[in-house]
Structure 1
C-alpha cells in the first residue's frame, strides 16, 4: 500500500498475525500467535516456519546485522535469531517484567523493548528499555507525567530519534537517541486515537496504526511546527 492508500499487492493468510517485520532481503516475517511460531513469506508468497516455541511470541523486529529478535511476554524472554531461525542470544530476562514489543534504532543499534507491568497490552502501564549492542541497559523511559504511560509501538527516524506510541493518551512521544524527551509530535488533535504501531519510512513519513478507528494514518512531522 502506498501513501495514498492504494493497495498494490496482498497475501492471503490462514492465521492471525501478532506482529510483522521485513528483513533486509525483503522477506516478510510474521508472528503466528495461534501456533506459537515465526513464519517467513517470500516475494513469491512461499511460507516457511523459522521458529516454534512453547508460548506465543508477542513482538518481532529485524536487525541491521541480518538477524531478528522476538519477545515472549509469558517467559520474559527476548531472543535473537539468525536468518535461518537458529537461536543466537538470549537477553538478560531479569531486566523485564512482560516484554511485548521490540524495535531497533538503525543509527546507534540500540534495541528498544516495550515492557508491560501486567498481562493486558492495551491497558497495562509500562516503560521502554534501551539496550546497547551487548545487551546492557542504557536507560529506561517511563513517560512524562504521573499519569499512566501505555507504550505500544516504537521506531526510529533517520537521525536516530525515537518515536513511541502512548496508547492511552493518544499521542506520540519523541526522544533523542540518548533517551531525552524532546516533545509530543502527534496527538489527538491530529486525529491520532489509540495509536498502536508506527514506522518511519525511507522518505521520512510516519505511518501510524490506530486501534479505535482501525486506520493507517500517514504524517510528515516537523519538530519546528508540531508541539
Structure 2
C-alpha cells in the first residue's frame, strides 16, 4: 500500500493528521488543516487568536502586531511621530495626543511597496551586477593563472639560457686547462728525454771504465779519455707552475641584477571600478541608446517669455512638448513648447514661492517649500503633503528612475547639508559624508539629478563644484570647472540635468554658459548660444536642452546633439 504522505505529491496534506487533503488554513499560525482537524487546532493553543479561513484565501487576514505595553491588545494604528504601532488602549491613554496617526495597514502597504521596490532592485540590478562582478573576478583569476604560468616559463627559459652560457664558459676554462697541461707536459717530456740520453751516455762511460780497469793492457789505459767533468754540470730543474682556478664570488644581489629580478606585484582597489547595471524604465525592453555626437554649434530652437515678475529659476519636463516652470511667486506654470502657450497654473499650498520642482515618472508635479519644511506632490490639481521635516529644510528635489524622491536639505543652523532618498514618505537612504567622514556638500547645494548610471549629481555652489556619488552614496568625483573659462569668471554651478548619453549638463551663472561633462567628470564642451544668466536646466526624451534665463524670465530650447 502506498504511503499517502508521499504519494500524489501535487496534493497538499493536513499538517496535523498528515493524511487528509487540506481544506482550511490558519492565518495566525500558518498551519494547513483539513476540516476534521480545525477544532483540534483551535483548542491546541487558546492564548492565540486563531484566524481559520479557506485554503484558497490563506494569508488574506492581516496579522496586526501585538502591543508591547498592553497585553493581548492588537495595534491597528501607527504613530508617525513616535514611529511605533499603537493599540486602542494606547490612544485612550492620550500618550499620543496631537501626534500624526495612520492606519497601520497603510503603513504596512507603504513598507511592502518599499520592500517590493528593493526586491526588484536586488533581482534586476544588484544581483545581476554582482554576478557580473563574480564572473569578472573569476576571469581575472584565470588570466592571472595563465600570466603567472607564462612568467615562470620565461624565468625557466632565461635560466636555461644562462645554463648554456655557463656550460660554454666551463668548457672554455677546461680547454684552457688542457692546453696549459699539454704545453708543460711537452717541455717536461723533452727534459726527461735529454736526461735519459745523458743517463745512457753515463752508463756507457761506466762500462768502458770498468773494462779498462779489469784489463792489464797498458795501451788501453793510456788511451782512455774521461768525460766525467761534463756530467758534473747538472741540468736545470724545470719546475712547472700549476694554474689556479679563482672562482668569482657569487654575491646574491649582483647575481640577481645580472640574471634579472621580479618587479613588485600589487593589488589595487578601485572604488569606481564597477558600476551598477542600469535598469531604468526608459531602458526597459531595449538596449543602450544610440550614440549621439555633439553639434559643432548648438542652436536655439525657440524662446518663450514666462511672465514671472522678478526671476525665473526652475523647470521640469512633463513631456517633450509640456514643461513645468517656477520662479518668483507662488504660481507654478505649465507651458506648451510648440505653441508657446500657458496651459495650466498651480498655486502652492502655503502661498510661498516653491523652492525647487520636479516631475515624477507617473507625471505628477513635486515641489519643495523651504519655509514650511515640506515636500509636496500635485495630483489631479490637488496638493498633498508627502514629507514634513523637523530640524531640516528641503531644497533641491528630483524623482529618480525607480520612483524615489531624492531631496537636498539643510539643518536649522545652516551648518549641515545632506541628500535623503525617500520612497513615498519613508526615508530610505542618507548621503552626507565621504569615506573619511568629511561632509560631501556645503550649505549652498541647490540642484540635484540622477544620471543614467544611477549616479546622484549635486551642484554645490558653496564649494564651486559638481559633486557626483554612486547609487550607494560613495563619492565618485568632483568637477570644479574647466580652464580657460568663458568670461574668465569663477565656476558657480546652478541648475543641472543629464541626457541619454549620460552627459552631465550644468548651468554656470556668471559665465553665461552651460558646461557639458561625461559621466566620469571629463569636460566635453561649453554651450553659450548668447545665454544670459542661465539657471535651471532640464532635458526631454529627445535630448533637447531647456534653459531658464534667470533675469530675462525666458525659457530657451536648445539643440546640442546630432
Corresponding residue number in structure 2 for 1:122 = none
- Assess if the C-alpha contact under 8 Å between 1:77 and 1:90 holds in 2: yes
- Assess if the C-alpha contact under 8 Å between 2:493 and 2:507 holds in 1: yes
- 1:150 matched to 2:485? The reply is no
Query: Which residue, 336, 343, 360 being the options, matches 1:8?
Result: 343
Corresponding residue number in structure 2 for 1:52 = 388
Matches within 5 A, 1:164-203: 164-185=506-527, 187=528, 190-203=529-542
The Cα shift of 1:77 comes to 1.3
- Assess if the C-alpha contact under 8 Å between 2:354 and 2:368 holds in 1: yes
Matches within 5 A, 1:62-101: 62-73=399-410, 74=414, 75-82=416-423, 84-93=424-433, 94-98=439-443, 99-101=445-447
Give the number of equivalent residue pairs: 210
Query: Which residue, 537, 544, 549 being the options, matches 1:205?
Result: 544
Query: Which residue, 161, 171, 183 being the options, matches 2:503?
Result: 161
Corresponding residue number in structure 1 for 2:476 = 138
The Cα shift of 1:26 comes to 1.4
Classify the secondary structure of the residue corresponding to 1:7.
strand
Matched residues in 2 for 1:142 and 1:170: separation?
16
Classify the secondary structure of the residue corresponding to 2:356.
strand
- Assess if the C-alpha contact under 8 Å between 1:16 and 1:34 holds in 2: no
The Cα shift of 1:222 comes to 3.4
Deviates more, 1:145-154 or 1:156-165: 145-154
**TM-score with structure 2 length normalisation?**
0.36
The Cα shift of 1:102 comes to 0.8
Corresponding residue number in structure 2 for 1:116 = 461
Corresponding residue number in structure 2 for 1:30 = 367
Unaligned runs of 5+ in 1: 118-124
- 1:216 matched to 2:555? The reply is yes
The Cα shift of 1:142 comes to 0.4
**Structure with higher helix content:** 2
- Assess if the C-alpha contact under 8 Å between 2:470 and 2:476 holds in 1: yes
- Assess if the C-alpha contact under 8 Å between 1:164 and 1:173 holds in 2: yes
**Structure with higher strand content:** 1
- Assess if the C-alpha contact under 8 Å between 2:543 and 2:561 holds in 1: no
- Assess if the C-alpha contact under 8 Å between 2:537 and 2:547 holds in 1: yes
Matched residues in 2 for 1:211 and 1:116: separation?
16
Matched residues in 1 for 2:407 and 2:515: separation?
23
CA RMSD, 1 decimal: 1.6
- 1:103 matched to 2:449? The reply is yes
Classify the secondary structure of the residue corresponding to 2:394.
coil
